[in-house]
Amino acid sequence: MSDGKSTNPGRCDPNFGPSFPFFFDDNQGSSMCNISVGHQDYFGGGGGGGSGGGASYMSFAGYLGGGFDASACSPSDVISASIDQQDHVTVAGSSSLGKGAAGETSESHPVSPNSSISASSSNEATMTEEDVDKGKKETSGKNQQEGCGDDHEAQEKLTKKVDEKANKKKEKRPKEPRFAFLTKSDIENLEDGYRWRKYGQKAVKNSPHPRSYYRCTSQKCTVKKRVERSFQDPSVVITTYEGRHNHLSPAALRANATIGMLPPTFLMPPPLSSFGHNIFTHEYFMGDQLFASTPHEPQVHDPVSSMFHRKLEARQDSEFQFPDHGLLQDMIPSFQNTQQP
């Protein structure tokens, strides 16, 4: 479609807002957690991106490996949560922000107050097979069809693939970390700094809105994302990222090249640097804060971390309701449980 096709690095869409993730990490198959989140709000300019915190607190950005670059923009609100089975949970809500560390173009966008949403995650098996799947599918579908024996090579390949599949199945492949976030926006394609190629679209049960599947266009990068609208609130876009980027986002590269002054924290992992702006700057809640009563002390001090605290406070009074059913609930079934008594 439009050129940015799916997402164009570093560009801002006038209507977008990043939202926050809720992230799940399926690794180990455990399960997930919940999250809740919030409401619309807005935190003005903060700075930049962030590292999620200390060692044990990895931001979703970190998880993704780079996930987002929000250099993009955003106007809308975000609502989201992310989770990581291990010890972190992140949630967010969001809205617009000012300039990020990355500089880029953003100007501050006014934010509009919006809704409240909550989420929880259940990832489960839903997507975990993907990585492996890819190979599988390639093999399976096609090969079966072609198996007529056109060519030995083809057959051999097939066989190999099949074997690989079998092995993988047995091995039980690790699940890719995932995180999702809700964004209140008219636009479905969030500008997250990476380039995505759409590889499928599917109608979703109980929802008039189709779900789109995207893959990172970078070579060897297996990150995928799914984008769909909440059927209950069409203005809410649910974006789910899966996997971690193994490269810098085009936007991040650009920003770094231009700025060249970012603190190490930002530059280190590709992902983090990319997050520098929108997302982090908006609201981001650390999991422990959500689930535990102990205040979280960021191990790494950075603007973002501090920001989390402030934001969190701001949000405590929010009322979380999760209007969505179906899709969202699938992702976030227990959202309500996370709410504070």
Partner DNA sequence: CGTTTTTGACCTGCGC
Partner DNA sequence: GCGCAGGTCAAAAACG
Binding region for DNA (CB under 7 A)? 1-3, 5-6, 125-127, 129-130, 133-134, 136-138, 140-142, 144-145, 169, 195-206, 211-215, 217, 224, 226
- Least Å from the CB of residue 140 to DNA: 4
HSE-CB at 97 with a 13 A cutoff on CA atoms is: 33
When the beta carbons of 181 and 320 are compared against DNA, the nearer one is 181
- What is the C-alpha to C-alpha distance for residues 326 and 181, in angstroms, rounded to an integer? 16
- Least Å from the CB of residue 4 to DNA: 8
When the beta carbons of 1 and 55 are compared against DNA, the nearer one is 1
3-state secondary structure 119-154: EECCCCHHHHCHHHHHHHHHHHHHHHHHCCCCCHHH
Closest Cα to residue 119, out of 144, 90, 160, 139?
A: 90
Total residues found in the chain within this entry:
341
When the beta carbons of 156 and 297 are compared against DNA, the nearer one is 156
When the beta carbons of 140 and 336 are compared against DNA, the nearer one is 140
- Least Å from the CB of residue 8 to DNA: 9
When the beta carbons of 213 and 280 are compared against DNA, the nearer one is 213
- Least Å from the CB of residue 242 to DNA: 8
Diameter over CA atoms, the chain: 66
- Least Å from the CB of residue 165 to DNA: 7
- What is the C-alpha to C-alpha distance for residues 111 and 13, in angstroms, rounded to an integer? 14
Distances 20 to 92, 161, 169, 220, 281 between C-alpha atoms, Å: 4, 38, 33, 26, 10
Three-class SS state of 226: strand
When the beta carbons of 142 and 309 are compared against DNA, the nearer one is 142
Quote the crossing angle between the two packed helices 130-137 and 152-171, to the nearest 10°: 160
- Least Å from the CB of residue 154 to DNA: 11
- Report CA torsion sign: 48, 195, 113, 103: positive
- The H-or-E segment that residue 265 falls in is helix 264-267
When the beta carbons of 199 and 268 are compared against DNA, the nearer one is 199
- Least Å from the CB of residue 268 to DNA: 26
Rounded to 5 degrees, what angle do the CA atoms 215, 178, 230 make? Answer: 80
